[in-house]
Amino acid sequence: MKLGIFLTAGLSMVQAIYALSLQGKIVGVLPEYKLQNAEQIVNGNNLPIRFTVELTSIDGEISHKMRALVNSKYEFIFNHVNPGIHDLSLVSHDFILDKDRFRIEANHSTITATDYYLNGNKGQASNVTDTVLVVSVVGERKYYEVRSGSVKEMLLNSPLGFIFKNTGYTIMFVATLVMMAGPYVLSIVNPEMSKRLAEIREEQGQGRGMFDPKPEAPKIEEISRSAPARGTKKKR
């Protein structure tokens, strides 16, 4: 009995001595990145603490679970990884990671990490005994919807938004719009004027060649004289 206890204790000591460490690093967090409304959130300025990095032993029963703290350089370390199979999970409350789950196989001399996916596919196994396991940030988690609805917002977010974001473009756009829509609006507001203008344009187009001198514009009196008398009943 005593021998058994002695052997068990000895084995534990040997395991502890030869236990390897697993180091990891999360890359891709921009230094200037700030949480939305960070000042209203406890630990809002502490992005590393919002990562959860856990190593769970999965040899049969879920027996042992270790949690590592992520430091300001987004590095973490598990100092004593016991031989066996473990599940390494990395979850961030703020970022999407390219790989968030690894199967860690450790023996007395090596540690291998295999990323695996929920659909059962396994990634490539890599030896991380003396190297750092690198996980990349590929995006940020978006929790908030922004309520839309204002006309200005709709315009700015429309395909024509790039025009309205620039004053010069906006002036050109409005001017073009007025030139295009002007005759149509005039035909509704003042059909006589519209018709007369159309005639003038037609006359100018017929009587003028490419190099002809510019004809003089008809005077207003002439236009008004040549305008049809109103009030003539349509003949049926």
Q: Judged by CB under 8 A, does residue 158 bind other proteins? A: no
Q: Judged by CB under 8 A, does residue 62 bind other proteins? A: yes
Q: Judged by CB under 8 A, does residue 27 bind other proteins? A: no
Of 163 and 223, nearer to other proteins (C-beta) is: 223
Q: Judged by CB under 8 A, does residue 154 bind other proteins? A: no
Of 49 and 198, nearer to other proteins (C-beta) is: 49
216 within 8 A of 204, measured Cβ to Cβ? no
Write down the least CB distance from residue 53 to other proteins, Å. Answer: 11
Give the Cα separation of 56 and 104 in Å (integer): 9
Give the Cα separation of 122 and 165 in Å (integer): 47
Give the Cα separation of 164 and 49 in Å (integer): 42
Give the Cα separation of 75 and 96 in Å (integer): 16
Closest CA to 78 of 21, 129, 15: 21
Backbone angles phi and psi of 80, in degrees to 5: -125, 95
Write down the least CB distance from residue 3 to other proteins, Å. Answer: 30
Q: Judged by CB under 8 A, does residue 144 bind other proteins? A: yes
Q: Which residue has the tokens 């295009």?
A: 180
Q: Judged by CB under 8 A, does residue 69 bind other proteins? A: yes
Q: Judged by CB under 8 A, does residue 43 bind other proteins? A: yes
- CA angle (179 as vertex; 173, 181 as ends), nearest 5: 95
Give the Cα separation of 131 and 111 in Å (integer): 10
Site string for other proteins, 76-115 (x = CB under 8 A): ---x-------x-x-x-x------x--x------------
Binding residues with other proteins: total (CB under 8 A):
53
Which residues in this chain contact other proteins in the complex, by CB under 8 A? Answer: 35-37, 40-50, 52, 58, 60-62, 67, 69-72, 79, 87, 89, 91, 93, 100, 103, 118-120, 141-147, 149, 188, 191-192, 228-235
